[in-house]
Structure 1
């Protein structure tokens, strides 16, 4: 049986209801899929979903997606329009802390101040047999190669420090937590990044570097070095195409 199936079964074992917490859920695209899967798997259990997201715009998209899914209408949602740090302080100030059966943090741990303390806090909110799922870029990914090679140039107020799966695992080990790691293999065609006249290529470069205007954001030397790195070390080349390594790590932390 696959690890994902085992974790899902453990989450619902001996439960009269399921409580889910999404941290940094954005527009909720993945949340909707996961909640739909849980609802179909545990059709007789009431499900509640708390969502922590600092962007009002993203939450509006999430709510719109929920309204389009008839199968999610029975789920009771609680919306927390705030960043993770504010949510943590809010919960710590309460005497009666709510517990959850499934907590997920997908591509959001780049934005927290204290990685280990953040993981420790959310892990403390797990019910018996609960799972904390963390998805983040794998240490062997092109993202990791790019951002660890150019930390001074790429890290900013938006992403103050780059983190990959190795940082998460180091925190989990320091906390003595049990976990299972699975890999999500993926690639992206970035061939057009090397055509300075390609608008698609410029948008891809902005996405990869978190800079709205790639060519205006870096000196000619840094631009050339970034492009060379993307071509030579951040993926593979095949039949004239350049494929960026987008591998992710999916980590299930036990309660």
Structure 2
């Protein structure tokens, strides 16, 4: 695959909407709190007795979570070399990631291998080469919605783990607001970049079917979406566009827009202090080697 080719749902205006969502939702902070609670013990187990560590990020976006993960690893194993492979389809977000690495003192000289392609293309490329690198820790944060074949994807990356390795999957929790929205309006929403919505429920169903061992940790989060109910609010409209992965008011019939907004208020959220707080709970799933 050509180095400058991209294959992602996050390009151009989508990147801007994604950044707006992150700012409004507090999602990154919720994930950081979860990782700080869970990963130190896991990392000590993963890296015990090893002279080097190999980490992979799949669908890493702008790299904020990766930088935190690598810094955490370094704090637990100071002086131990760490290599990092990144698989990310967005050239724009990869450039943001590289800029973040360049201004992070502890990572300026760390070796990175950049694979600017979709997960599917990386899998094809790795299988074609036949000499697949193994990893101590692989993370897939909020990206399993965009893979073509969930089972094949999880099977491949779990198979890349070294002894005592872990595959971390962070995904929307079953029965979260996202899960309810996309399952209820699946025929209307699963038509473009997301063809089959998955939450933690689908991930765990596959792992259970395969008999794979895993641990699940809650990653609670909620945020105010009151502006989504004001059609004159620019922020509200942009959030709705991100939630539905399309131009909300231009893409659906008035009946569908009304039904989605009603679902947001009655099923996906709770009312607190005159605010509509969207349930964006996530699950952190650690799959064993």
Query: What's the TM-score bracket when you normalise by the shorter of the two chains?
Result: over 0.9
Is 2:270–2:276's contact at 8 Å kept on the other side of the alignment? yes
> In structure 2, how many angstroms separate the alpha carbons of the residues matched to 1:215 and 1:95?
48
Matched, 1:224 2:258: yes
The Cα of 1:238 is off from its aligned counterpart by 1.2
- 1:41-80 matched pairs, under 5 angstroms: 41-80=76-115
- 1:63-212 matched pairs, under 5 angstroms: 63-211=98-246
> In structure 2, how many angstroms separate the alpha carbons of the residues matched to 1:96 and 1:219?
51
Number of aligned residues: 254
* Matched residue, 2:68: 33
> In structure 2, how many angstroms separate the alpha carbons of the residues matched to 1:104 and 1:54?
15
Could you give the per-residue CA deviations for residues 222-248 of structure 1, whole angstroms, max 9, x where no partner exists? Answer: 000000000001010012110000000
Corresponding residue SS for 2:114: strand
Instruction: Flag the structure with higher helix content.
Output: 2
Is 2:57–2:85's contact at 8 Å kept on the other side of the alignment? yes
Point out 4+ residue stretches in structure 1 off by more than 4 angstroms: none
The Cα of 1:3 is off from its aligned counterpart by 4.1
Is 1:120–1:175's contact at 8 Å kept on the other side of the alignment? no
Matched, 1:12 2:47: yes
- 275, 280, 283: which is aligned to 1:241? 275
Which sections of structure 1, spanning at least 5 residues, go unmatched? Answer: none
What is the TM-score normalised by the length of structure 2?
0.85
* Matched residue, 2:59: 24
* Matched residue, 2:11: none
> In structure 1, how many angstroms separate the alpha carbons of the residues matched to 2:93 and 2:109?
22
Is 2:40–2:72's contact at 8 Å kept on the other side of the alignment? no
> In structure 1, how many angstroms separate the alpha carbons of the residues matched to 2:102 and 2:211?
41
Could you give the per-residue CA deviations for residues 30-51 of structure 1, whole angstroms, max 9, x where no partner exists? Answer: 1111111111111120000000
Corresponding residue SS for 2:40: helix
> Would the alpha carbon gap of residues 3 and 197 (structure 1) be closer, same or farther in structure 2, given more than 3 Å must change?
closer
> In structure 2, how many angstroms separate the alpha carbons of the residues matched to 1:4 and 1:27?
21
The Cα of 1:201 is off from its aligned counterpart by 1.1
What is the TM-score normalised by the length of structure 1?
0.97
The Cα of 1:204 is off from its aligned counterpart by 1.4
